[in-house]
């Protein structure tokens, strides 16, 4: 199945959302782009977003979810720091009915994406109890899940890349320094890794989380396996083989931690890798597709084809998954697809399309999944770029059945109480609206903790803010052509 519209036009570069003064201007812009988004002109505080929903025996208070967001700010031994506690406390203050994952929690120290990612450690159970209690102190009390991960190709447990890959990739290997088969994860290692997922799931169960997310997105191991067509053995080849790791993990968690519901955060489609062109604008590398067609990508790698993802979701639902969070692509190989932004992170590229097209692509794929699987609780992503129009689109999506919940990522870093304001009928606080400056991504790319440096006074006034400004200046200078 391919998308019904071909949204982007080559001449359609980004227009700032704040320039789109009213709903007519917003709709006109979509029309120019050939993109489709549902939009309600008025937001009703008691309307669709305030609706409750029964999920896995729990009644969710409303249709907002907080998406997982790590901060590169745990302790070196994988435990929460005060920065982690502050972030989770703000997630709870959002008023959202569900907190999906909190942040990526590595099931093995070697699978951490950075040396400050949370990961299993001797005090994990106490840590998870504390973090879950922070979330559950929210009013309304959210349904909570923990995101379980192994970073695979993007593992950097000590800082430098220490990739473990599902298969050799013609483009991505060079980006993380893979030049031999020695870093291929063996089938036996994957068998053992399932046990690590189960171990942390049991701790999450004891800590009172309602579900765990067996992460399968953003280029990390669980996601990379889904495109491991060239891999031999049990965990590659056809879709059954490529999804075996995910399905076995779900089944094992189900049997060993039976009181937990199970979610999967899935990059429901991916695109081919991009790189900055000479003009700084992202350009696709479709040649990479010869042996490595991204999961859920069309043949040219520029759009989605949901045939395989829909078949996978059917298998997952059959295996007992009751929550699905749709996302797309990877923040490493095609960040404009994963988190549409006006300003790219320092290691990215200028958006090759109006970011509204990226938002529309993710919402469209989510709608198709939701309509095919009406019994699954489906949480969408990539709404933050909508800025002032977020509540208007969110309400229309839920009203039309395009998703059950609206997941918020970056917007919660800048404006954690947006759900509470929308549901309380308060006007949006425009000064807090995320403008997709990408500093929360640029900072960790430069070894600093993540946070909303432009808007959240806590980070704006921090010592790291100066270091971030220096890093951005260096990146700008490096991008400028030499003169004189
Ligand atoms: C700073 C930062 C940290 C993130 N950490 C995670 C994570 O730990 N796990 C995950 O699945 N996604 C993570 N994401 C992706 C977000 O959950 C979300 O998919 C993305 O930001 C798009 O949603 P948005 O448009 O609302 O921001 C992160 C994003 C950002 C900006
Ligand atoms: S740094 Fe703040 S404004 Fe920029 S993308 Fe992140 S949350 Fe949004």
Does the Cβ of 454 fall within 6 Å of ligand 2?
Answer: yes
Give the pLDDT score at 291.
Answer: 76
Assess if residue 20 is contained within a domain. Answer: no
Q: Report the separation in Å between the CA atom of 103 and the middle of ligand 1, taken as the mean of its atom positions.
A: 9
pLDDT, tens digit, 9 for 90 and up, residues 82-105 = 999 999 999 999 999 999 999 999
Does the Cβ of 155 fall within 6 Å of ligand 1?
Answer: no
Does the Cβ of 265 fall within 6 Å of ligand 1?
Answer: yes
Assess if residue 32 is contained within a domain. Answer: no
Does the Cβ of 69 fall within 6 Å of ligand 2?
Answer: no
CA distance 224 to 218: 8
Assess if residue 473 is contained within a domain. Answer: no
Q: Which ligand gives the minimal distance to the CA of 455?
A: 2
Assess if residue 222 is contained within a domain. Answer: yes
Q: What is the CATH number of the domain that holds 208?
A: 3.20.20.70
Angle at 378 between CA 376 and CA 381, to 5 degrees: 165
Protein residue with its CA nearest to atom 26 in ligand 1:
409
Assess if residue 479 is contained within a domain. Answer: no
Q: Report the separation in Å between the CA atom of 106 and the middle of ligand 1, taken as the mean of its atom positions.
A: 16
Query: Tokens 């009915």 belong to which residue?
Result: 97
Does the Cβ of 67 fall within 6 Å of ligand 1?
Answer: yes
Assess if residue 465 is contained within a domain. Answer: no
> What are the phi and psi torsion angles at 321 (to 5°)?
-75, 130
* Of 469, 384, 478, 397, the residue nearest 432 (C-alpha): 384
Q: Are 36 and 72 in contact, with CB atoms under 8 Å apart?
A: no
Residue 22 has pLDDT above 70, yes or no: yes
Assess if residue 461 is contained within a domain. Answer: no
What are the CA-CA distances from residue 320 to residues 216, 249, 326, 413, 422 (Å)? 16, 11, 17, 32, 33
Chain centroid offset of residue 262 CA: 17
Give the pLDDT score at 401.
Answer: 98
Instruction: Give the total number of structural domains in the chain.
Output: 1
pLDDT confidence tier of residue 288, bands split at 50, 70 and 90: confident
Residue 11 has pLDDT above 70, yes or no: no
Give the pLDDT score at 481.
Answer: 52
Q: Which domain holds residue 165?
A: 40-434
Instruction: Supply the pTM of this predicted model.
Output: 0.96
Does the Cβ of 434 fall within 6 Å of ligand 2?
Answer: yes
Mean pLDDT of 164-170: 96
Assess if residue 2 is contained within a domain. Answer: no
Residue 274 has pLDDT above 50, yes or no: yes
């Amino acid at each position: 199945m391919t998308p019904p519209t071909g949204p982007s036009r080559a001449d359609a570069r980004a227009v700032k959302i704040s320039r789109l003064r009213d709903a007519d201007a917003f709709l006109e812009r979509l029309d120019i782009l050939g993109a489709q988004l549902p939009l309600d002109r008025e937001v009703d505080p008691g309307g669709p977003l305030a609706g409750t929903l029964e999920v896995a025996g729990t009644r969710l208070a409303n249709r907002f979810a907080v998406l997982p967001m790590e901060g590169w700010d745990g302790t070196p031994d994988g435990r929460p720091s005060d920065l982690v506690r502050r972030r989770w406390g703000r997630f709870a203050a959002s008023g959202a009915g569900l907190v999906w994952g909190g942040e990526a929690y590595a099931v093995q120290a070697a699978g951490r994406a950075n040396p400050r990612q949370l990961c299993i450690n001797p005090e994990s159970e106490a840590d998870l109890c504390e973090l879950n209690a922070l979330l559950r102190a929210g009013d309304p009390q959210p349904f909570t899940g923990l995101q379980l991960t192994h970073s695979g190709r993007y593992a950097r447990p000590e800082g430098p890349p220490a990739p473990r890959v599902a298969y050799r990739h013609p483009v991505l290997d060079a980006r993380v320094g893979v030049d031999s088969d020695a870093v291929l994860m063996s089938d036996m290692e994957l068998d053992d890794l399932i046990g690590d997922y189960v171990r942390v799931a049991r701790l999450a169960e004891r800590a009172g989380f309602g579900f765990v997310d067996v992460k399968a997105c953003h280029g990390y191991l669980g996601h990379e396996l889904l495109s491991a067509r060239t891999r031999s053995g049990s965990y590659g080849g056809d879709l059954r083989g490529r999804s075996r790791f995910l399905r076995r993990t779900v089944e094992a968690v189900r049997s060993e931690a039976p009181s937990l519901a199970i979610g999967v955060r899935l990059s429901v489609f991916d695109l081919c890798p991009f790189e900055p062109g000479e003009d700084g604008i992202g350009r696709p590398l479709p040649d990479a597709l010869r042996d490595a067609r991204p999961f859920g990508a069309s043949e040219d790698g520029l759009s989605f084809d949901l045939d395989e993802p829909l078949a996978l979701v059917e298998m997952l639902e059959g295996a007992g998954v009751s929550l699905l969070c749709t996302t797309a692509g990877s923040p490493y190989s095609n960040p404009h697809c994963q988190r549409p932004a006006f300003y790219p992170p320092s290691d990215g590229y200028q958006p090759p399309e109006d970011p509204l097209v990226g938002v529309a692509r993710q919402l469209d794929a989510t709608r198709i999944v939701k309509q095919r699987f009406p019994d699954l609780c489906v949480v969408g992503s990539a709404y933050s770029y909508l800025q002032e129009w977020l509540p208007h689109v969110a309400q229309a999506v839920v009203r039309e059945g395009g998703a059950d919940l609206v997941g918020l990522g970056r917007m919660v870093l800048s404006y954690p109480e947006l759900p509470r304001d929308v549901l309380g009928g308060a006007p949006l606080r425009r000064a807090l609206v995320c403008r997709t400056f990408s500093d929360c991504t640029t900072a960790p790319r430069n070894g600093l903790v993540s946070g909303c440096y432009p808007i959240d006074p806590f980070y704006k006034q921090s010592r790291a803010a100066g270091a971030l400004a220096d890093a951005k200046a260096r990146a700008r200078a490096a991008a400028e052509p030499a003169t004189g």
